[in-house]
Amino acid sequence: MRVFKFGGASVKDADGIKNVYDVLQKVGFEDVLLVVSAMGKTTNALEEVIKNYFEKSAELNSSVQEVKKYHNQIVMDLFEDEKNEVFAAINAQFSDLEYFLAHNKSPNYNFVYDQIVSYGELISTTILSHFMSFMGIQTQWVDVRNLIKTDANYRDAELDWSLTQTNISKNIKRKILNITQGFLGSDENNFTTTLGREGSDYTAAIFAYCLNAESVTIWKDVPGVMNADPRYFENASLLNQISYREAIELAFYGATVIHPKTLQPLQKKEIPLYVKSFINPLLKGTSVAKGVDLEPYLPCFIVKRNQLLISLSSIDFSFIMEENISEIFGLFHQFKLKVNLIQNSAISFSVCVEDKFDNFNALNALLSKKFKVDFSENVTLYTIRHFNDQAAQTVEENKTVLLKQVSRETMQVVIKEN
């Protein structure tokens, strides 16, 4: 079996859905499992619904209607007959969403987030599944929440591998096209959980691992894995082949083409990963597999914006020792700040972190009791794998460098954009 993952950009409108069908016609669809994300910017739109829900905003209903209008237009563009059962299926899902908004009693933001945001994937896969059937392809729509089981750490759930393996082995049919949702799972009480933002790649890897898949293909709007994001760098080049190890390094530092959790289960079973273009599906793209990278190495640029640079120093000029660092990292873990760079001296300790849950103010209140805390918001972290002088100059030129760290293979620079 082959596992294909299609992200939101590939199914953002009716033409995108039709293109997925065309891709499958070219590369084959028998014995294939599709993992599909929410359409376009639907996750962002549902986050706005969540915001309005908690703020008891008068805009709540209109924000839900915007999401509904967006999807209904796609369905109208795909199906001429309004009696097609897809219309009832989509309306039923929106009714479930509205019922939850009206009757939920939980004040837990992360719980509510997962219950609401999941409708993006559920609706997109329902539309895609009905369209494939309409076009004559036999499909099985699979509710991934019945298969991928997790703990109750909402928004960043951990997998129960054993139970997930059993469920997937029993429920995925061979020789037909299976369609399921990325990003989602459920806990022991069958409440929806999510695997972390952009977790659909990870979902594809979970299915591949459990099914001993032939391969995983991530379909993107770029030719494959590039050595730099074309949005930020001119003359970005395609990496034809990279090893699991190099891909894991790139993912660790924040390369967005491949999700960090995706590679480990694939590497364990040596399942190759392909990153290919849904615009030109017959091009080779990038292969990630066991073996040696193509050389010479190109410098690879990774950009992480909206970072927070925190510098801690001891109030009494005493050394910051292992026990202090252990306590600090315990707090980072508690407040869910992701650390992307560390640098320390005798009496100071600096970290570049990502505060995706907006917990820094609460953390700062605790840190300030023991340390002098300085911080810079909205900084950018540049990472260059296989850097050279020219690559370093490209990043640093005409910018204010706040922190720089260099190792044998990797250079990281925290910059305040001028």
Binding-site positions for ATP read 5-8, 231
125, 166, 391, 417 from 388: Cα distances, Å: 44, 48, 5, 22
* Cα Dmax for the chain: 75
Reply yes or no: is the peptide bond before residue 265 cis, omega within 30 of 0. Answer: no
**112: helix, coil or strand?**
helix
CB of 36 closer than 8 Å to CB of 184: no
Q: Which residues are annotated as a binding site?
A: 5-8, 43, 121, 231
Please give the structure tokens belonging to residue 81: 């007959």
With DSSP H G I counted as helix, E B as strand and the rest as coil, what are the percentages for the chain, rounded to 5? 40, 25, 35
CA distance 2 to 207: 10
Q: What pairs with residue 180 in β-bridges?
A: 35, 142
Q: Which residues are annotated as a binding site for substrate?
A: 43, 121
CB of 210 closer than 8 Å to CB of 164: yes
93, 205, 396 from 417: Cα distances, Å: 44, 36, 10
DSSP state of 393: H
